[in-house]
Amino acid sequence: MSGWHTDANQIRTLSIRKVVTETELVKTFYFEDKICASTEPGQFVMVWIPCIDEIPLSLSSINGDLASVTVKEVGEATRALNKMKEGEIIGVRGPFGTHFRIVGKTALVVGGGVGTAPLMLLTSKLLEKKVKTTVIEGAKTRSELLFLDQLAKLQQKTSLKTIYTTDDGSYGTKGLATDAAEKVLSSGHFDAIYVCGNEAMTVKVYRLSEKYGTPLQASLERFMYCAIGICGSCVIGKYRVCKDGPVFDQTQLKEVESELGRLKRDLKGEKVPI
């Protein structure tokens, strides 16, 4: 229980400083918190929505003491959060978990949907470290692509390269982010691949990393209730995603290959198909 008694795990009640509508179902919430300012890319916080629930969310940006989480409406808690306004109160504890590690001089970053959120913080850090970075973002349609303006601004200031894919061809290349990733990997060398998105996409990128011999770091999603490895709701194989992850390397993914993209735990803790 020692993990419970830390400053990071104590809930802080914070005021929402700004709300930005990203898409019809996605919003970004900004708040000031000195503890969150130390968050590394890929780590997550538990956000409490008063009278509703507490949910895990990755940080999408940090600027001084101002941090943000980007939220897609998928259930009761996220719907309630996305109805909140500037000045309203939320609770935050964290950061928790492992983070993306910056290695080498060239990086391929692959994001799908709201999984792009933690990759924005990573991309900023990669560029700060002068890593030559290519970002691939995929979505079903143009209106669901996130952070286009922010990525465009980074392109103007740095050597960042961006590739967009949409299932319906309404923006960028028609097809999947993994199709674009294979094309890029087949034509050039990268020192590392970073991925976050739905698990089917993560599995495909994992296969590509093996095919092209490129080290991979992936952020996984699972039910998380305690965030400190006690409840076991987020187990995959021998790992607890909240404590041993959410960022896993290639060796760890190999160890849970039989469950990756196939099984997760339901609300009762039982294994169910993804």
Show pLDDT as tens, one digit a residue, over the chain (274 residues).
345 557 778 899 999 999 999 999 999 999 999 999 989 999 999 999 999 999 999 999 999 999 999 999 999 999 999 999 999 999 999 999 999 999 999 999 999 999 999 999 999 999 999 999 999 999 999 999 999 999 999 999 999 999 999 999 999 999 999 999 999 999 989 999 999 999 999 999 999 999 999 999 999 988 888 888 888 889 999 999 999 999 999 999 999 999 998 888 877 778 888 8
Residues 82, 124, single domain; the answer is no
**Cβ-based neighbour number of residue 267 at 10 Å:** 9
Instruction: Specify the number of domains making up the chain.
Output: 2
Residues 56, 118, single domain; the answer is no
What CATH number does the domain containing 82 carry?
Answer: 2.40.30.10
The pLDDT score that the predictor gives to residue 5 is 58
In a domain, 218, yes or no: yes
Residues 71, 121, single domain; the answer is no
**Parent domain of 247:** 106-273
**Cβ-based neighbour number of residue 94 at 10 Å:** 25
DSSP for residue 231: S
The pLDDT score that the predictor gives to residue 266 is 78
The pLDDT score that the predictor gives to residue 273 is 87
Listed residues 41, 62, 95: the one ending a domain = 95
In a domain, 101, yes or no: no
CB contact set of 118 (below 8 Å; sequence gap of 6+): 41, 42, 44, 58, 59, 60, 100, 196, 219
In a domain, 100, yes or no: no
**Cβ-based neighbour number of residue 18 at 10 Å:** 11
Residues 79, 136, single domain; the answer is no
**Cβ-based neighbour number of residue 265 at 10 Å:** 18
Residues 123, 147, single domain; the answer is yes
Listed residues 63, 95, 127: the one ending a domain = 95
Residues 82, 155, single domain; the answer is no
What CATH number does the domain containing 168 carry?
Answer: 3.40.50.80
In a domain, 9, yes or no: yes
The residues with which 216 forms a beta bridge, in sequence order, are 193
